[in-house]
Amino acid sequence: MTHQEIIIAGFGGQGILSAGRILAYAGMLEGKNVSWLPSYGPEMRGGTANCHVIISDEPVGSPILNSATALIVMNGPSLEKFESFVVPGGLILTDSSLVTKSPARKDIDVCEIPATKMASDMGNLTYANIILIGKLIAKTGVTTIQNFTEALKKVLPEKKHYLIPEEIQALEAGMNY
C-alpha cells in the first residue's frame, strides 16, 4: 500500500514548488490520491520555500503535514527545520552540494546526493531538484519514469517541452546515484 507524506524544502528559485507539483501530478497519473500544498506564509519572505505532497491509495485527509515519510532538503536551514518531522524509518534526501551538515538522526534512511554539482556538470543547475526526485522515486516507488514524463508534459508549458529528454536524464541520474 502506498502512503507517502513528502516535504520538499529549500530556497526560492530552486524549483522546490514545481518539483513537488510534478511529483504530485505523476502520483495522480499513477492512479493515487494526491495533494500539493505550497508554503505561502511569512516564511516565504525569508526566501525559503517548501511544499507538502501526499501520494496515497487512500483519500487524502488534511494536506498539511505534521510529519513526513520522506524529506528532500536543498539548503541547510530546511534540514534544521524539518529533520524532526521525519517518522522513524523514514527517508531524508539532501543536496549535499549545498547542505554541508549531515542529518543527526540514526533511525532514518539518509541519502546525500551532490545534486547541484551533478546538475551543473550536466550543464543546467535547475535539474538539481529533478535529480533528488529521481532518488525519491527509486527509494519509494511512488511513480514511474513513464508517468513522471507524462506529468512533465502536463506541468511544463509547451515551449519548454524540448527540455523533457534532459529532465528525464537528470531523473535517471538521481535514480541510479
Alpha helices in the chain (DSSP H): 16-29, 76-82, 115-122, 128-140, 145-155, 164-176
Q: What are phi and psi of 36, to 5 degrees?
A: -140, 125
Pair 27, 36: CB distance under 8 Å? no
Residue 76 binds another protein, judged by CB under 8 A: no
Residue 38 binds another protein, judged by CB under 8 A: yes
Q: Within 11-30, which residues bind another protein (CB under 8 A)? A: 21, 24-25, 28
Among 40-48, 80-88, 96-104, 105-113, the segment contacting another protein (CB under 8 A): 40-48
Binding mask 145-174 for another protein (x = CB under 8 A): ---------x--------------------
Among 58-66, 80-88, 110-118, 165-173, the segment contacting another protein (CB under 8 A): 58-66
* DSSP three-state, residue 127: helix
Residue 128 binds another protein, judged by CB under 8 A: no
Residue 41 binds another protein, judged by CB under 8 A: yes
How far, in Å, are 3, 54, 77, 79 from residue 7 at the CA level?
A: 13, 9, 14, 11
Pair 166, 118: CB distance under 8 Å? no
For 126: left if phi > 0, alpha if psi spans -120 to 50, otherwise beta; the answer is alpha
From 9, 16, 36, 127, residue interacting with another protein (rule: CB under 8 A): 36
Q: Using the minimum distance from each CB to another protein, give the nearer residue, 63 or 77.
A: 63
Q: Using the minimum distance from each CB to another protein, give the nearer residue, 21 or 135.
A: 21
Residue 82 binds another protein, judged by CB under 8 A: no
Q: Measured between alpha carbons, how far is 94 from 78 in angstroms, rounded to an integer? A: 10
From 3, 37, 120, 122, residue interacting with another protein (rule: CB under 8 A): 37
Binding positions for another protein, rule: CB under 8 A: 21, 24-25, 28, 33-38, 40-42, 59-64, 66, 154
